[in-house]
Structure 1
Amino acid sequence: MGEDLFWAIRGGGAASFGVVLAYKVKLVPVPEKVTVFRVERYLTENATDITFKWQSVAPTTDDELFMRMLVQPVTRNKKKTVRITVIALYLGDSDSLVRLLNKDFPELGIAKENCNEASWIDSVLWWANYDLGTQPKILLDRDLNDANFLKRKSDYVQTPIPKKGLESLWKKMVELGKVGLVFNSYGGQMNRVKSDATPFPHRAGNLFKIQYSVSWKQPGDEAVKNFTTQTKLLHEFMTPFVSKNPRSAYLNYRDIDVGSTNTWSYEDGKVYGQSYFNGNYERLVHVKTAVDPKNFFRNEQSIPPRSTHI
């Protein structure tokens, strides 16, 4: 298919370029046993200090450890507050993990009783909120008549948010009441891949990605307006703490607020294209122009060709 097209479809939104019929995935080895844990803390339990420290530890810790953090507004003892949850996967045993975190992240207070050792496939089910020991075939179960509504937005953090900034964030989240955050740490192998090796550019220099998350069950325009407005307000509040010029975003959350088009002009595409792809947008436009100059494969956030004739 040519080197440029192969580059483009691996992270550039393949739907802009055609239909992928088959692909190969290169697997990586994992140990026979891995370790997982989930630890919750509230604001009265040192949550601010833990969050502040997590920003510097999670992206720089051992390559075998991934630590995600959930930040959620909750009601506890009839009072509104914020709860953080650190969820982790370690490619090793629990004794090694406890030693590592007691050295690098004592604020978390992790102990062996917080940890569970499991096979890697069991850890996949655990991450999907199934009990350890659940048979993998349950992942094939689908309720086609069940649906949730959701809104997702994203940001990238390149400088740790100071404690005062976190404290102001807690207040804003409690005020809004519904929107949660997911902090996904980067670093490690993410840093070792060059930003232009694939279209996905968010590599070295990014500490973590924020997912803004709200879900609801009731249909109707009023619910959509309420929940999406809350998400936009929290996203706007975070402006001082996240990446700039461009304010980067994660393509797979498909956030139309980042920008959209129905003209598929180069300039329209640049608005969202630079947020999703940073400096790789120009090369993606070049590939698009070469392989789909009439813009047959398009959506509201697709890569446009240099000139569009629809």
Structure 2
Amino acid sequence: MGEDLFWAITGGGGASFGVVISYKINLVRVPAKVTVFQVRRTSIQNVTNVAHQWLQVADKLDYNLFIRMIVNVANSTNGEKTIGASFPSLFLGNTTTLMNIMDQSFPELGLQRSDCQEMNWTQSLLRYFNSPPGSPDSTLLSRVRRTVVHLKRKSDYIKNPISKQGLRSIFNKMVELDRVGLYFNPYGGRMAEISEFAKPFPHRAGNIAKIQYTLDWAENGVDAANRYINLTRVLHEYMTPFVSKFPREAFLNYRDLDIGVNHNGKNSFTEGGVYGVKYFKETNFRRLVKVKTIVDPDNFFRNEQSIPTLPSTYH
């Protein structure tokens, strides 16, 4: 296969280079018992304080602790729209150790021992995906979707903490739009120790978190799709001052066609650079293009956001 091609298909989108039949991966050990919790906070003021501290510590927490922050629009006790935030979490250790870490690193969340449950790692996955209590491990092998929905996903990266004033403005905009949720996935940890050039995936040291914009809807039809997709675009535009710049980075696996489409014509290389630099940054994108030009010079394996080949004058 060669080192360059292997590098390209382990993070650069395998579909640009051929048909990948399988991957062989190394598993890592996990403790016999892990600790999980999922707490929710509501009201813009409360969520603002907790979210502000989360952004200060998310990429600096203990390597064994993962805390995602999910922010969405909720109904208040008086029926008005407000903001709610959930914090689904996994700790590779016991409750006592976790509580010590939380008290020192993230006290604003106000985690209580009663919020925590110890279980094995497989059970933690079932719980994360909201499987009914007592579900067998084999549930994870099911490929039957319980519901079918339409959806739109977008992404961003946060390099610097957002001020409380900035968070309040974002949350007010979310309430105005009503439907778009934000999933904040913490970075740092082992990811930040790996060079951004080691694999095509470059979003490592210097990133606090990745944001996933999420909106699902049940209605069929183009009009409904356009209406809901536009809501994600409005919030994405509103977030411009708070996220990465030059380029405004994005996450490949959400495949957001709003950030660029390749028509695979004479301008393929230029068009590919629009989204390619956002997904992979400049150096990695150019290396991916060189690999693509060698292994698939006729650009047979292509899609709306595949890696382009070099223009023929550069072959």
TM-score (norm: length of structure 2): 0.95
The one-letter amino acid paired with 2:269 is: Y
Counterparts in 2 of 1:151 and 1:109: CA distance versus 1, 3 Å: same
Task: Describe the SS at the equivalent of 1:58.
Answer: helix
Deviation at 1:137, TM superposition (A): 1.4
Q: Which residue of 2 aligns with 1:296?
A: 300
Q: Which runs of 5+ in 2 are unaligned?
A: none
AA in 1 matched with 2:55: Q
Aligned residues: 309
From the superposition, tell whether residues 44 and 262 of structure 1 become closer, same or farther in structure 2 (CA, over 3 Å): closer
Task: Give the equivalent residue in structure 2 for 1:42.
Answer: 42
Aligned equivalents of 1:144, 1:188: Cα separation in 2: 33
1:166-221 residue CA offsets vs partner (Å, 9 max, x unmatched): 00001100000000000000000010010000000000000000000000111111
Q: Is the 8 A contact 1:294 1:308 kept in 2?
A: no
CA distance in 1, matches of 2:295, 2:177: 46
Distance of 1:146 and 1:27 partners within structure 2: 31
Aligned with residue 269 of structure 2, among 258, 266, 271: 266
Give the CA deviation at 1:141: 3.3
Cα distance in 1 for residues equivalent to 2:146 and 2:236: 32
Structure 1 residue 74: deviation in Å?
Answer: 1.3
In 2, Cα distance between equivalents of 1:198 and 1:258: 22
Write the letter of the residue equivalent to 2:58.
A
- SS state at 2:153 partner: strand
Q: State the match for 1:278 in structure 2.
A: 281
1:146 positional shift? 4.7
What is the Cα deviation at residue 307 of structure 1? 2.6
CA contact (8 A) 1:123 1:132 kept: no
Amino acid at match of 1:210: I
How far 1:69 moved relative to its partner? 0.4
Distance in 2 between the 1:144 and 1:183 partners? Answer: 25
Provide the alpha-carbon RMSD of the alignment: 1.5
Give the alignment's TM-score, normalised by structure 1.
0.97
Contact map agreement 2:43 2:76 (CA 8 A) in 1: no
Q: CA deviation at 1:21?
A: 1.1
1:82 maps to what in 2? 83
For residue 5 of structure 1, what is the amino acid of its counterpart? L
Q: Is the 8 A contact 1:191 1:203 kept in 2?
A: yes
Alpha-carbon contact 1:158-1:207 (below 8 Å) kept: yes
Q: Structure 1 CA distance, aligned partners of 2:161 and 2:88?
A: 20
1:127-158 Cα distance to aligned partner (Å, 9 max, x none): 11124432121233344695210000000000
Q: Aligned residue for 1:69?
A: 69
Q: What percent identity do the matched residue pairs reach?
A: 50
Asked whether the equivalents of residues 33 and 117 of structure 1 are also in contact (C-alpha less than 8 Å), the reply is: yes
Question: Paired residue for 2:176?
Answer: 175
Question: 1:25: which partner in 2?
Answer: 25
What is aligned with 1:191? 192
Partner of 1:220 in structure 2? 221
1:33 maps to a residue whose letter is K
Check whether the contact 2:123–2:137 (CA below 8 A) recurs between aligned residues.
Answer: yes
Q: Deviation per CA, 1:73-94, whole angstroms, max 9, x where unpaired?
A: 1112211000011111000001
Partners in 2 of 1:16 and 1:143 — Cα distance?
A: 28
Counterpart of 2:40, as a letter, is E
Structure 1 gap segments, 5+ residues each: none
Moved more, 40-49 or 98-107: 40-49
After superposition, the C-alpha distances for 1:211-251 in whole angstroms (9 at most, x for unaligned) are 00000111111210111000000000000000000000000
Deviation readout 1:264-299 (Å, 9 max, x if unpaired): 511110000000000210000000000000000000
How far apart, in 1, do the equivalents of 2:191 and 2:84 lie?
28
- Contact 1:34–1:119 under 8 Å retained in 2: yes
1:306 aligns with 2:310: yes
2:201 counterpart SS class: coil
- Residue range with higher mean Cα deviation, 169-178 or 40-49: 40-49
Q: Which whole-Å CA distance do the structure 1 matches of 2:128 and 2:17 have between them? A: 33
Aligned to 1:250: 251
The separation in 1 between residues aligned to 2:130 and 2:300, in whole angstroms, is: 40
Contact 1:295/1:308 (8 A) holds in 2? no
